[in-house]
Structure 1
Amino acid sequence: MKQLSHLLRRMQQVLREPQPALPGSRQLVVSLSMDVAAAEESEPSLLPWLATQPVYPQFYWQHRQEPEEAAVCGIVRGFRHVSDAESFFQHYRSAPDVRVWGLNGFERTTADGGESADYLFLPRVEVIRQGNQLSLKVNVFSETSLQADADEAAAFIKFLLPAHPIAPLTSRIVAQEHHPSREGWVSMLEQALASIAADEMEKVVLARCTTLTLSQPLREASMMAASRAANHRCFHFMLAHNAEQAFMGSSPERLYLRQGTTLNTEALAGTVASDDNDRTAETLAQWLMNDRKNQCENQFVVEDISQRLQQSAATLDVMPPEVIRLRKVQHLRRAIRATLHQASDTACLNDLQPTAAVAGLPRQAARAFIRQVEPFTRGWYAGSAGYLSLAQAEFCVALRSAEINGDKINLYAGAGILPGSDPEQEWVELDNKAAGLKTLFDGEVS
């Protein structure tokens, strides 16, 4: 987009200004206001610009409701844990809105607890569109000389390229394999129901990984663009390691939004199919609102979140249930709002991830059962994606997600298991959830 090219030229001028030959961290910012309608007509997204860049890692983010979109690339500093990022903010007295972006794995560990699946980083370049405001931000950090890193940032900027259109999604599915298989799923469910009947758990969320083999290697941006165009009312996120390896998703669920000490989270649990016909979709939604099993599943999540926030929150309010309609499924959702004693994203993640909506109850028993019976490692699936800063943080739950590796894609979907759960119905729920991404490809196999 022309506005971004203008900002890049302005940033080159800013980077020519002298910086201290001292250690530290700074963020340089140039912004402009733009005509949103004109900008969207000429360039519908920051994604084509990001996909054109020859530098990695890349992270893309689009909010599910707010007119906010971000494209970041390059790495200045990486972090293994959110607590490391928070310590960095405090030590270097970062500006309140300096953001660290990335993913938190489903199996998170504490700062001294060994290996972590988290991938968080302070990017070199961050482009953010919020309403009619377009901002270009460059992070400069050095343990020896800010001037030296500013010189590196100036060289980095020169390598950035104008946006090119993203190639359409032309790959076709030629084979698929489920992990577990249908028979394995039935066995897993029977084990789960036996464990629940023995009072070892109240609920567990079991997942399936479906490996798709494609007719040709896939560019991750093509899949992200197709999902962005089809799956509305979702958070869209993508972490790309290179042109063919990435983790991406289009998730309907917010893990939390923290603005100062105000926390917004939600219980998104309970599922029914959606339909292109409005009347049919409404009938299904009414069934969902009145179905005892789904209401019970949602209430479990509400109670679990409320209990986990008991020590961290001064106040907590739960909103009435509502049905969220997506392209392939509909969900029950209750919004939850809290006032925190202190603004700590380490505490928020420890309290909220993983929620009962993606793991089960009690948390530790459910996680242990998942590790024992699921025939794959979840990695970033059912973890979280987003950003944190001193002023605010927002992470969505990494659902409706896919791991891309050339001509192979792993699609992930899960279902909550409670007393009375039926293996066949839950298998259909997995199909419906995976369809949000799988149906982006033409010629899919059954």
Structure 2
Amino acid sequence: MNATENPITTTQSEVLDLLFLKGLTSGGSFAVWRKPRTTKLEFLLDDKKNPERVTLNFEELPAGFLVHPFADQEDKKAFFIRSSHYFSFDLDQDLDQEDLPKWLNQSLDPEAGSIRSEISHLIQIKSESSLQENLKGNEKEHFIRLVEHGIKAIEDGILEKVVPARTKFIHLSEDFDLGKTFSNLLKSYPNSFINFFHIPQVGTWIGASPEVLIETKGDHFHTMALAGTQPAIGENPLKSAGWTQKEIEEQALVCRYIVDCFKKIRLREYEEHGPKTIMAGNLLHLRTDFRVNMKATGFPQLGSVMLELLHPTSAVCGMPRKEAHDFLQENEGFDRSFYAGFLGPVNIQDETSIYVNLRTASIRGDKAILYAGAGVTEESDPEKEWEETELKCQIIGKFIQKPNT
């Protein structure tokens, strides 16, 4: 029997390891992701050594993966991982060797440990950088004062809501395995956008975002308002959840913000569904979905128009947007970098899906920086807001810090 009659079967973990190895040895930028409620894993590699930056008129872009920081640069450009090589497969099915593209033709039968050991070595040396810049964001006392300052600004009528953030440093576990960590995120968070990207000299990030910023598919546009947070408790947390007035008002502010963006461009025909309680990892949130038929409303470039209007949303910044943004820049005390920015695949098979970069970590050598924020209103309790950020940090942190199983 020849090789084609009895092909070597490749497990998804082996393919994932090969993809990470290919990306890290290429010298270029790459991204790996799985969209919410799907079983399709996607990989995209740009083999150019120098990172590319583009304007946000994504309808004009080729296929690729967009990454934008929280704070706008002066030229308002985003990093773009152009699709030199693209590959996808169904996570529910094993692959045969012949199913893999020729550019991913490393041997499929080496000792698994050697590939994983090389990936672990590469991820540390390629993501190495100083952590000094973020030390202030790691302090509980600083965050508590920040929340108190935010509440005072709301009471004084300067702000309606503000979303201060913080960082948390952790050491990667001694047996940190990128492939296993990513696989664990895939299994644990089916309703989140599981993602990893590496841009040389720019950043190496891993995350599980629950929040769509904008999506376009054919003639259809979608965005969502996501706010309010509580732990998922009990056997049926979706049915037993109860929301406080503070959380309901916080969600209503985010919805109003989206509707105000529609009003700015005189868009009146849209569908609004919600709010409803949804689960993302070990947390519950309130979510409202907004949908628009771009053809019927005559807005073929609604995606890029709304992307510019929405970011940064009131769910990650506050309201009014300019005043909240200025407050955070003056008082937060650290650079958010790509946290609460946005990222996602662009123009791949007639779809663009951009997500807010939440529940995320920046890998820096043998350490990682976790990022989390909390929506502050007049009713906020600073200690409870700190506890909320701790829960959010656990979503990624528990897979990075503890030994992988």
The answer to whether 1:286 aligns with 2:241 is yes
The answer to whether 1:338 aligns with 2:288 is no
Letter of the aligned partner of 1:278 in structure 2? E
Q: Do the aligned residues in 1 keep the contact of 2:34 with 2:195 (CA within 8 Å)? A: yes
1:49 aligned residue (18, 23, 28):
18
Letter of the aligned partner of 2:106 in structure 1? L
Distance in 2 (CA, whole Å) between partners of 1:217 and 1:242 is: 24
Distance in 2 (CA, whole Å) between partners of 1:350 and 1:182 is: 33
Q: Do the aligned residues in 1 keep the contact of 2:58 with 2:304 (CA within 8 Å)? A: no
Closer, same or farther: CA 261–427 of 1 in aligned 2, 3 Å:
same
Closer, same or farther: CA 301–380 of 1 in aligned 2, 3 Å:
same
Q: Which residue of 1 aligns with 2:39?
A: 67
Q: TM-score, normalised by structure 2?
A: 0.79
Q: Which residue of 1 aligns with 2:338?
A: 380
SS at match of 1:365: helix
Distance in 1 (CA, whole Å) between partners of 2:355 and 2:19 is: 21
Comparing both chains, which one has the higher relative contact order based on Cα–Cα distances under 8 Å and sequence gaps of 6 or more? 2
Distance in 2 (CA, whole Å) between partners of 1:400 and 1:381 is: 8
1:371 aligned residue (329, 350, 365):
329
Q: Which residue of 2 aligns with 1:247?
A: 205
Distance in 1 (CA, whole Å) between partners of 2:42 and 2:357 is: 17
Closer, same or farther: CA 433–159 of 1 in aligned 2, 3 Å:
closer
Q: TM-score, normalised by structure 1?
A: 0.73
Q: Do the aligned residues in 2 keep the contact of 1:319 with 1:336 (CA within 8 Å)? A: yes
Q: Do the aligned residues in 2 keep the contact of 1:177 with 1:212 (CA within 8 Å)? A: no
Distance in 2 (CA, whole Å) between partners of 1:225 and 1:130 is: 13
Q: Larger % of strand: which?
A: 1
Q: Which range moves more in the overlay, 293-302 or 306-315?
A: 306-315
Q: Which residue of 1 aligns with 2:262?
A: 309
Distance in 1 (CA, whole Å) between partners of 2:136 and 2:175 is: 20
Distance in 2 (CA, whole Å) between partners of 1:170 and 1:160 is: 20
Q: Do the aligned residues in 1 keep the contact of 2:159 with 2:320 (CA within 8 Å)? A: yes
Distance in 1 (CA, whole Å) between partners of 2:285 and 2:194 is: 18
Deviations 1:27-81 (A, max 9, x none): xxxxxxxxxxxx8x94268532311212131201101113332111233596423
Q: Quick one: percent identity of the two aligned structures?
A: 22
Write the mapping of 1:20-31 to structure 2, written as runs, cut at 5 A: none
Closer, same or farther: CA 225–342 of 1 in aligned 2, 3 Å:
same
SS at match of 1:65: coil
Q: Which residue of 1 aligns with 2:98?
A: none
Letter of the aligned partner of 1:48 in structure 2? D
Q: Do the aligned residues in 1 keep the contact of 2:51 with 2:200 (CA within 8 Å)? A: no
Closer, same or farther: CA 221–134 of 1 in aligned 2, 3 Å:
closer
The answer to whether 1:229 aligns with 2:174 is no
Q: Which range moves more in the overlay, 327-336 or 413-422?
A: 327-336
Letter of the aligned partner of 2:72 in structure 1? R
Q: Do the aligned residues in 1 keep the contact of 2:42 with 2:86 (CA within 8 Å)? A: yes
Q: Which residue of 1 aligns with 2:89?
A: 129
The answer to whether 1:274 aligns with 2:238 is no
Q: Do the aligned residues in 2 keep the contact of 1:209 with 1:410 (CA within 8 Å)? A: yes
2:387 aligned residue (428, 441, 444):
428
Q: Which residue of 2 aligns with 1:258?
A: 216
Deviations 1:287-315 (A, max 9, x none): 12xx2111110110001011112216351
Q: Which residue of 1 aligns with 2:305?
A: 347
Superposed displacement of residue 213, structure 1: 2.6
